[in-house]
Amino acid sequence: MIAFWIILTGALVAISCGLLGSFLVLRKMSMVGDAISHAVLPGIVIAFLWSGSRDTLPMLLGAGATGLLATFIIEYLHRKARLQTDASIGIVFTFMFAVGIILISTFAGKIDLDQDCVLYGELAYVPINLWILPDGTSIGPKPVYILSVVLLLVILFIYFGYKELKLTSFDPSFASAIGISTALWHYLLMAAVSFTTVSAFESVGAILVITFLIGPPATAYLLTENLKKMLFITVGIGILVSFTGYWLAYWLNASIAGCMALMTGVVFAVVFVYTKFVVKYKKRKLIENELSQLQESNV
């Protein structure tokens, strides 16, 4: 059951992050997840100081609010200061991460808090982080229930906002012309990304969250130009790398998150080689065959 819970947790995070990451890839904003993973640190410290607790809920609220604030500032700098998106991301996440580090160093002697508490989770601990009912009954790992709810919310968000997300990602000018608020849907997407990534930090760690935000969608993007197919392929890749990554870690006795990230890169490399050489070769042969058939018919 240990392997099942770990693989299930990884798959839940991979699917949630991958579905939202697909729209980030289309919008050329893939590194927003990296920015959020660093920018939430001040929110973690402030949430602890306000609540006096390291429970999941106050940490999630504090980090989520700070992550959402970071996305607002990034977009403001991009639109008002006319900075490139990557420059805005770099400025915001380094500044907010530095603020978090200063807060930690200032209060380190007074409170038991460091960036490891949320930013650097460990999948191996998921099976022992149990949800215990008041009568003492264990119903399984708490992260699985939290991440399942997050995944359900992500699916509902994409299902009901699919048309708006698609139009604002592919053709924002046309979306504005027909009355769709591009700014509103941008911030809704950023809010969803912020809360999804933050909810997964404690279970799998920031590095794996960023990997799942970018890796599976980028791989799916190489395989299809259809958005719906891209979303389904992203889900399949997320499940695949979670399964193979765990067993690779078991075989090597290595980091589970590291091996899942490694397998994400391996799958991307295989697909890249396939689309770069095999698909192009097939297309070239198809064109050559059509040309030869035309020549034969003319003769």
- Range(s) of the domain holding residue 58: 2-298
Residue range 156-182, pLDDT digits in tens = 999 999 999 999 988 888 888 888 888
- What residue type is assigned to position 228 of the chain? K
Comparing C-alpha atoms, which of 118, 8, 3, 106 is closest to residue 54?
A: 118
CATH number of 264's domain? 1.10.3470.10
127-152 pLDDT, tens digit per residue, is 887 777 787 777 888 889 989 999 99
Q: Looking at residues 184-199, what average pLDDT do you find?
A: 85
Burial class (CB in 10 A: 0-12, 13-18, 19+), 144: buried
**pLDDT level of residue 112 (50, 70, 90 thresholds):** low
Contacts of 232 (CB under 8 A, 6+ apart): none
Indicate if the pLDDT at residue 190 is higher than 90: no
Residue 241 near residue 268, CB atoms below 8 Å: no
Quick: pLDDT tens for 233-272.
999 999 999 999 999 999 998 888 889 999 999 999 999 9
Average pLDDT over residues 46-52: 78
pTM of the entire predicted model: 0.84
Widest CA span in the chain: 89
Say what percent of the chain tops pLDDT 90: 31
Residue 157 is predicted with a pLDDT of 96
Q: What pLDDT, on the 0 to 100 scale, is given for residue 291?
A: 56
pLDDT band with cut points at 50, 70 and 90 for residue 279: low
Handedness of CA 194, 36, 22, 242 (dihedral sign): negative
Percent of the chain clearing pLDDT 70 (strictly above) = 87
At 10-42, the pLDDT tens digits run 999 999 999 999 999 998 888 777 777 778 778
Structurally, the chain folds into a number of domains equal to 1
pLDDT digits over 54-101, tens only? 666 777 788 778 888 888 888 888 777 777 877 888 888 888 888 888
